[in-house]
Amino acid sequence: MKITTTLFAAAALLLPMTAQAETKSVKAEQTIVEIAAGAEDFSTLVAAAKAAGLVEALSGEGPFTIFAPTNAAFAKLPKETVAALLKPENKAKLAAILTYHVVAGKVMAADVTAGKVKTLNGAEATIAVKDGKVTIDKANVIKTDLAGSNGVIHVIDAVILPAS
């Protein structure tokens, strides 16, 4: 079954903030998991990370760059798809999808370049930069540089999926 990559468009409804303001609003002592857990817009992502058994790993030293879908992005998926992925028997599949959203290293927005990037699940995602806008596998990056002690979060407007 092929899942479409349209999770993140709803995230565009969030109040706009500058990257500088976002960075200042997050305490650098927090890990990227703690930042996500403290933001209401990432509750589905955090629940999925818990179900996949990834919270401890992503709370580790890192550094990690996470392209994070919001709750609105997950809501664009068929309801039964998200429910099925959260079942214990689908833990490996969920982990593969979530680790496709993670890149090793702390890559701040100013350092992003176009090209292929290897994700933590081993597959490559494509980053494009056009007219000052950044996408990863056609998901728009809508907020950047939520910096933590072990990495950074960039918010995207769709869930991205590795090729099956």
Pick the CATH number of 9-156 from 2.160.10.10, 3.90.420.10, 3.20.20.70, 2.30.180.10: 2.30.180.10
Residue with tokens 């999808």: 97
pTM of the model: 0.81
26 DSSP 8-state letter: S
Q: Predicted confidence band at 28 (pLDDT cuts at 50, 70, 90)?
A: low
The pLDDT of residue 79 is: 85
Question: What is the distance between the terminal CA atoms of the chain, rounded to a whole angstrom?
Answer: 9
pLDDT of 13 over the 80 cut: no
pLDDT of 68 over the 70 cut: yes
Kindly report the backbone phi and psi dihedral angles of residue 29, in degrees, each rounded to the nearest multiple of 5, phi listed first: -75, -20
Q: Predicted confidence band at 82 (pLDDT cuts at 50, 70, 90)?
A: confident
Positive/negative CA dihedral, 26, 32, 35, 36: positive
The pLDDT of residue 15 is: 25
Higher-pLDDT residue of 5 and 91 is 91
Beta bridge partner(s), residue 141: 156
Nearest CA among 156, 96, 42 for reference residue 34: 42
Higher-pLDDT residue of 61 and 8 is 61
Q: How far apart are CA 148 and CA 8, in angstroms?
A: 22
